Structure formats: structure tokens, C-alpha cells
Amino acid sequence: MPDIRQNPDSTKAASPKDGRAASEKMTERPACARRIGAGAFRLPLQERTWRMIYYIDRESGKGNGLSPDSPRSDYRDLDIGPGDKILFRRGTVMRERLETVSGEKGNPTVYGAYGEGEAPRFLGSVDLVGKENWEPAAPNIWRCVGRPDTEACSFIFDGGASLGTLRWSLDELAGQGDFFDECYGFSSKKLPCTGGLYLWSEKNPAETYGRIECAVFGGRNLADARHDVRIENLSFEMSGVHGVSGKGIRTEIFGCRFRFIGGCVWSAERKIRFGNAVEFWNICEDTSVESCIFDEIYDSCVTHQGGADCLPARHVRISRNLFSRYGMAAYECRDRLPVDTEFSLNLCENAGCGFSSLGATVPRGSEIYPEPMGHHIFIWRIGKATAAGELRIFRNVFADAPHGAAVYSVIAPEAEAQIYMNENLYRMEKREFFCRMGGRNYNDFEDYRKHTGKDADSVDASENGYGRET
């Protein structure tokens, strides 16, 4: 399996070619896995006539924004509306949220990139590398001077070469990179963060690391998922909470990268953290996440969920993505089983790995859900079937989940019957078990297929196959 960490600073978004190639060796798409509503009836982007195209260089733009040679420095004062394109110069870094504006059905607003080089980067972190940012508080413990006005969620050192470990008290700081914030949980309660932020280091952290990024709670996400918006070829990194979140109605996320997302404290008293890369809340319709790269996500890479008013997701496509190192799941489906939704042609690897496991007992769990996390697909909190419900999981590559499963389903049997699974490739050498379905954990592939009726044409490509049922 490819390792994204070989080039941790690369933000060129691309389709997961390795996973796609492996998947395309299988048989053709089953008839029931038809093209869904997300994008099915839309005019291709290249055939549209755009109302306005604006070119933005947040670092050095001084022009009117009407051409790549005359970019504007800001876009937030523009009268952006349906049919407009807002393009950010490649190679630029912005420590801010992307502020999106809704389009209209058939006429979205588009946020993307222009020029050559790496994808434009939106960062939800604070640069704390200067020596003046740290003062000694105790032997090997350094206090942040002029701390961020919102709580710290994670530390990323030297572009991801090493990572900080969250501790729940000052007394627990004991090793290089351990950190503690007296403001855990304050931001979610909208309280001011005035307590100390501490980091364990043998010497001034700025003398130990070349780069110190502190992902913070900030504005809760790095971009809003508004209706009739397409976000393409952008990189969202080091957000303490979510990457892109909100109500997804005809929302398209294409060719983007999400890296080091989540880790903020939901409850300091209960020691619970959270944060998803793409989260659609309460409503998700005619929406797609395609050809994106997800790496180092605290909870889930893509999820649709909600509260008491949550509606079943409808016409959703999650396809041709590369998912790697996530604490909960590549795809988390909860609260309602979706309608006409597919998870297809994705490469999923190293579930339950990455920064989410630092300082935690693995496999991860919590008092809210004590069972193991770290699955490729996690389906839970669904107590009944959905009218016309259908979730199709096909032609994916599932590789390694050391403490979890390829698919972990703990939902009502009638809802589970609405899940179609076939033509997947399983290569899970590192695992405790293969799949949970129908209230049983399976390690034997044939036994799983016999009892569930799923994955009839799928392939077990593990070197030694699967063992006995657990």
C-alpha cells in the first residue's frame, strides 16, 4: 500500500490510482449500482458559462482579480453569487477559513485553484515556532507566551515528522511533545481561553523543532458546506475540529486534500475528543466527495449524521478517494440509513492508526461507545430501516485495520438488509477481525459470505486468507 507520509507536504490532490487499478480488475459495476443523483443531471463544469471568474492571491494580490496576471488579495468583499468561480493561486498558504457563498440549483458557486504548483492551503493552525513564544514553567515544561485565544487541539512538528500527545493534566506531561491546555472544552462552551498552554520539551521547543503548528478550535471548521457549492483542488489542513462541515445540498467536494483534522476536546470531564474531515449535518442530498485524499483524521473522513431532526441522506456518492490513518472510520454512516448512496472505487488503509491513537488505549473507545473504533466503514446508531433505503459498497480496496474491521455494522437487521456489498478487494493482513455483520464478528471470509449473503463476487487477497470465525 502506498504511504502518503513519504511526502507529507505534498498537497496535489489526485485519484487513488493504486486502489482504482486494483478495483477495476474486478467485474463490471452491478446493475443495481447505478449512477446516482449527485451530478447525474448537471451540466459538466467545462460546458458552463460562468458569470464571473475571480483570481485571488491572498499573499500578494494587488489587482482587480479579473485575470491570473492581476489577482485580488481578498474575495470576501466581492458580490459573489450563483455562477461565479473564485480561484486561489496555487502555492499560497492561508491561515483562515474559506468563506463560501451558496449558489443555486444547476448554477453553483465554485471555489478552486489556478496557476502551477501545490494546491492552495487553508490552515486552521497557529505558528508557534519562535523562541519568544515559550517560557520555562518547570523543568522541561514550557508555557506558551501569548497563547492562542482558542483551545489547542493538536501539535504538528516539522510538517508531520513528529506529533504532540494530548495529556489531560499538567502532572501527566512526561515526554517530548506532550502538551496540556487548561482550556480544554472552553471553546465549545464559548468561554474565553485564558489558562495556560504547556508543552514538554528538553529545551525551548523552537530549538527542538524547525516548525511548530498548533491546530486550534478556531471557527469550528475550515469551510462551510453550503448548498450548490463546489469545492475543488484545495487543501484543508490542521483544523482542530472539522474540515468542511454543514448541510450538504448539491454540494460537491472534488480533488481536495484533508490532513491533520480534528482532535478538539468534546468533554474534558469524560476525556472525549472529536473531529471529522467532511461532516454533513442533518441533511445531505445530491452530494458527492470524489478524488480526494484524506490523511491523519481524528475521527471520520466522511460522515453524514445529525440530531433529532436528521433526515436520511439521499443521492450521495463517495468515490475514488484515498483514505489513510483515521481514528474512527473512512466512512461513518449513522442516525439514518441513506437512500440511493454509494461508497465505491475507494482505497482505504490503516484504519485506527495515526495521531488519534497517541496517548490513547487502542483500540479506541469511549464511555459513549466503548466498543472498538478504527474501521474502514462504521455503521451505527440506526434502529430501523429507511423507506427506499439503499447503501451500496462496491469495488473498494480495504487494507489493514489493526484493531478494527473492514465493515463494522451494529444496526437493526432490517436496516442492514438495505446494505449492498460486492466486488470489493480485501487485503487486511493486519487486523483483529475482518467484519462485523448480523451481530457477529467474522474472520473467515467464506463463513461471512455464507451467513450474510454479501460480497458474493469480492476477493480475499490477504496473503494467508482469513482464519476462523471469532
178, pLDDT greater than 50: yes
Q: Which pLDDT belongs to residue 30?
A: 36
Stretch 68-80: mean pLDDT: 97
The percent of residues in the chain predicted with pLDDT above 90, rounded, is: 82
Q: 39 pLDDT exceeds 70?
A: no
Which DSSP category does 43 fall into?
P
Highest mean pLDDT among 88-92, 219-223, 459-463: 88-92
Higher pLDDT: 466 or 200? It is 200
pLDDT of residue 6: 41
**Amino acid at the residue 43:** L
| Per-residue pLDDT at 465 | 61
DSSP 429: S
Q: Which residue segments constitute the domains of the chain, with CATH numbers given?
A: 10-48+80-122+218-460 (2.160.20), 125-216 (no CATH)
- Name residues whose C-beta falls within 8 Å of residue 350's C-beta, 6 or more positions apart in sequence: 1, 324, 325, 326, 399, 400, 401
For residue 21, what pLDDT is reported?
40
| Res. 197 pLDDT band, cuts 50 70 90 | very high
Mean pLDDT of the chain: 90
- The torsion of the CA quartet 236, 237, 240, 243, rounded to 10 degrees, works out to 20
Average pLDDT over residues 117-128: 98
Separation between Cα atoms, residue 16 and residue 234, nearest integer Å: 16
Whether residue 222 is predicted with pLDDT greater than 90 in this model: the reply is yes
Q: Mean pLDDT, to the nearest integer, of 135-141?
A: 98
Mean pLDDT of 276-284: 98
At which residue does the C-alpha cell 472539522 appear?
242
Could you tell me the pLDDT band of residue 188, with boundaries at 50, 70 and 90?
A: confident
Three-state DSSP state, 445: helix
End-to-end alpha carbon distance in the chain? 27
pTM: 0.90
Cα–Cα distance for residue pair 110/45, rounded to 1 Å: 10
260 has a pLDDT exceeding 80? yes
Cell of 175: 515526554
3-state class (DSSP) for residue 133: helix
Q: What is the pLDDT of residue 466?
A: 53
Whether 38 shows a pLDDT value over 70: the answer reads: no
Give the mean model confidence (pLDDT) for residues 344-372.
Answer: 90
Rounded CA gap, 67 and 386, in Å?
49
Predicted confidence at residue 41, as pLDDT, reads 39
Residue identified by cell 478550535 is 217
- The mean pLDDT of 123-145, rounded to a whole number, is 98
Query: Exposed/middle/buried for 380, CB within 10 Å: 0-12, 13-18, 19+?
Result: middle
How confident is the model at residue 195, as a pLDDT?
95
pLDDT in tens, 427-449: 999 998 999 999 999 999 999 99
Instruction: Tell me the average pLDDT across 45-51.
Output: 71
Could you read off the pLDDT of 365-420 as tens digits, one per residue?
877 788 889 999 999 999 999 999 999 999 999 999 999 999 999 999 999 999 99
Higher-scoring residue by pLDDT: 9, 380: 380
The rounded distance, in Å, linking the Cα atoms of 337 and 310 is 11
The torsion defined by the Cα of 246, 371, 338 and 23, in degrees rounded to 10, comes to 100
**Rounded mean pLDDT, 126-149:** 97
Task: In whole angstroms, give the CA distance from residue 115 to residue 410.
Answer: 47
